[in-house]
């Protein structure tokens, strides 16, 4: 009998090992493809215009906002011989969550300025949450003695977020044109999030298997195993906090995964203690 079961066990072990390796390589390839570098934008601003980059850098689902860095590249007629601004330049981004003006002073070199844009979404649907900023408008003005003068500008939306896809349209946007910004998690990020949920589900599955086997007297009661159940129970919260952009308490993941993981572990512990009461001297 042993000569028959041993090859079968080896084949099963080899199949599991191959499956794990294939999954590992697939995840690495998917991650590399999702984070492959995009071609650099090579456009130059018009001599009397500007090129504005709106670089999405953060998402705050609980605050209904998208963080961005606004960078302005003025045309050669808007700067002096040293490359500094010849006049004050103001960038107006709407809808913005603060009253601070995005201003660049004359005589200074332009640089990125942080901006917070309102976005609609529901963080409770993590990891399938999506955030949309509707009708975003970017306008550039030069402050002159006669008042603000509109500067024609091209607006480019870029993505510096890890694990998120950013889609902005239309792609060819001019200053004053309205466009939408949509932000949602990449497929690789969702797979990672769901994999963590599977790890949590595996905890009560293993615990219940051990407990039921002990209650049915298929395995002997082992007193040290009681601490194993307690350790798994207290490991639930740290593992939940490993979730990327951990959703607030009360999200669907708490009702569909975390609650049942905790109940499963507590049930397994109760069954094991029942075995202790029955079998312990």
Long-range pairs, 208-213, Cβ under 8 A, ≥24? 208/264, 208/267, 208/268, 208/271, 210/268, 210/272, 211/267, 211/268, 211/269, 211/271, 211/272, 211/275, 212/271
Give me the pLDDT at residue 237, please.
83
Token reading at 83: 């490359």
Q: What is the DSSP string of 78-130?
A: GB-TTS-BSSEEEEEEESBSS---EEE-TTS----EEEEEE-B--GGGTTS-E
DSSP secondary-structure letter at 39?
P
Q: Which residue has the tokens 């950013």?
A: 166
Kindly give, in sequence order, each residue whose CB lies less than 8 Å from that of residue 134, ignoring residues fewer than 6 positions away.
120, 180
Q: Quote the longest CA-to-CA distance of the chain.
A: 98
In our burial notation (b when 16+ CB lie closer than 10 A, e otherwise), range 78-96 reads: bbeeeeebebbbbbbbeeb
pTM for this predicted structure: 0.75
* Structure confidence by residue, pLDDT tens digits, 188-210: 888 888 888 888 888 889 888 88
CA distance 166 to 184: 7
Contact 189, 250 (CB under 8 A): no
- pLDDT, tens digit only, all 281 positions of the chain: 344 466 777 777 888 888 888 877 877 777 776 665 555 666 777 778 888 888 898 888 878 888 888 888 888 888 887 778 888 888 888 887 766 667 888 777 777 888 888 888 888 888 888 999 888 888 888 877 777 888 888 888 888 888 888 888 776 677 778 888 899 988 888 888 888 888 888 888 988 888 888 888 787 877 777 788 888 888 888 888 877 777 777 778 888 888 899 999 888 888 888 887 777 66
* Structure confidence by residue, pLDDT tens digits, 24-38: 787 777 777 666 555
Nearest alpha carbon to residue 52 among 150, 134, 166, 131: 150
Mean pLDDT for the chain?
81
Give me the pLDDT at residue 42, please.
67
């Amino acid at each position: 009998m042993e000569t028959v079961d041993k090859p079968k066990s080896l084949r099963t072990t080899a199949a599991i090992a191959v499956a794990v390796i294939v999954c590992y390589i697939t995840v690495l390839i998917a991650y590399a493809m999702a984070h492959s570098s995009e071609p650099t934008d090579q456009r130059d601003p018009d001599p009397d215009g500007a090129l504005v980059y709106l670089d999405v850098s953060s998402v705050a689902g609980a605050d209904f906002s998208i963080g961005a860095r606004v960078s302005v590249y003025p045309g050669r007629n808007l700067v002096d011989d040293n490359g500094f601004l010849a006049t004050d330049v103001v960038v107006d981004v709407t809808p913005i969550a603060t009253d601070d003006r995005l201003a660049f002073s004359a005589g200074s070199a332009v640089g990125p300025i942080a901006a917070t844009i309102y976005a609609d979404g529901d963080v409770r649907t993590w990891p399938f949450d999506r955030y949309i900023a509707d009708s975003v408008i970017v306008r550039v003005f030069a402050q002159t003695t006669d008042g603000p003068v509109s500067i024609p500008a091209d607006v480019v939306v870029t993505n510096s977020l890890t694990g998120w896809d950013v889609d902005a349209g239309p792609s060819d946007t001019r200053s004053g044109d309205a466009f939408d910004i949509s932000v949602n998690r990449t497929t690789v990020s969702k797979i990672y999030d769901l994999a963590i949920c599977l790890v949590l589900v595996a905890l009560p599955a293993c615990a219940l298997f051990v407990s039921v086997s002990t209650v049915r007297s298929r395995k002997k009661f082992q007193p040290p195993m009681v601490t194993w159940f307690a350790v798994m129970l207290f490991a639930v919260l740290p593992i939940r906090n490993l979730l990327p952009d951990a959703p607030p308490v009360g999200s669907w993941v708490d009702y569909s995964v975390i609650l049942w993981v905790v109940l499963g572990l507590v049930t397994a512990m109760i069954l094991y203690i029942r075995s202790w009461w029955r079998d312990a001297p």
